[in-house]
Amino acid sequence: MGLKSFLVDDSGALVEIPQHYRKSEKRLKQLQRSLSRKKKGCKRRHIAIKRVAKAHLNVANQRKDFHYKTAKKLLSQGKHVAHEKLNIKGIARTKLAKSTHDAGWGQFLQILSIKAERAGLLAIAVNPNGTSQNCSGCGTKVPKELKDRLHACPECGLTLLRDHNAAINIKHLAVGHSVNKAQVTSDAIAGITEKPALYASA
Ligand SMILES: [Zn+2]
């Protein structure tokens, strides 16, 4: 589950949140602001309330439609889907709350698991601890802050988008894969030209 993109899979493919949905959301916010300026009891306020309700429904429908299509697409590849276990309470306390709410992952995962079951497939929730920090190539812990969008491993040289690296770790966890340092090929190491400054002293 991504911050900028809706999701990133283990092949690095991104699923973006549709533009038309973002536009509807923006319109909803404008209508809500307009409503808050209307005086109680006046006719204009009544009209504004109706407009907000309609826009709300529109946003909810578009989101649900997007979630159904995305789940269908994932499962049409004929594979089980592993995803990070969503800790809504945990996330809600952070500044991510807004984007989590917008992305509506709770609803999406519910749709995904129902659709998976119907297709005879599994949607596997994995404990996300360490999936962003650990290298999916060699298992080394590579500390990152939320703003760091790239995973660059100083040990094996693997460089991937942060969420792509996490997606591979989630897949490994779901299939009970243990990361073995010996699997790292010299090719991967030869790929590093320079260690990122952040890790140079480590
Ligand atoms: Zn590594």
pLDDT in tens, 8-43: 999 999 999 888 888 998 999 999 999 999 999 899
Spell out the residues 6+ positions from residue 61 whose beta carbon is closer than 8 angstroms to its own.
Answer: none
What is the per-residue pLDDT across 136-149, written as a single tens digit (0 to 9) for each? 999 999 999 888 99
pLDDT of residue 73: 93
Place of tokens 């480590």: 202
pLDDT band at 101, cuts 50/70/90? Answer: low
Q: Which amino acid is at 39?
A: K
pLDDT at 200: 33
Distance between CA 82 and CA 123 in Å, rounded? 6
CB contact set of 37 (below 8 Å; sequence gap of 6+): none
Cα 155 to middle of ligand 1, angstroms:
5
C-alpha 20 to ligand 1 mean position (Å): 39
For residue 200, report the distance from its CA to the centre of ligand 1, in Å: 15
- The predicted model scores a pTM of 0.76
Residue-level pLDDT at 19: 84
**What is the per-residue pLDDT across 186-195, written as a single tens digit (0 to 9) for each?**
333 333 333 3
Q: Strand pairing of 123-126 and 81-84?
A: parallel
How far is the centre of ligand 1, averaged over its atoms, from the C-alpha of 99 (Å)? Answer: 29
Pairing of strands 14-15, 81-84: unpaired
- Ligand 1 centroid to 5 CA: how many Å? 24
Q: Determine what percent of the chain is predicted with pLDDT higher than 90.
A: 59
Nearest to 152 by CA among 184, 190, 196, 186: 196
- Tell me what the pLDDT averaged over the chain comes to: 82
CA 14 to ligand 1 center in whole angstroms:
22
68, two tokens: 């159904």
For the chain, what are the domain ranges?
7-126
- Write the DSSP assignment of the chain as a string of letters: --SSSSEE-TT--EEPPPHHHHHHHHHHHHHHHHHHTSPTT-HHHHHHHHHHHHHHHHHHHHHHHHHHHHHHHHHHT---EEEEPP-HHHHHTSTTHHHHHHHTHHHHHHHHHHHHHHTT--EEEE--TTTTTB-TTT--B----TT--EEE-TTT--EEEHHHHHHHHHHHHHTT----GGG--HHHHHT-SS--GGGTT-
Ligand 1 centroid–CA 10 distance in Å is 16
Residues 6+ apart with CB under 8 A from 195: 154
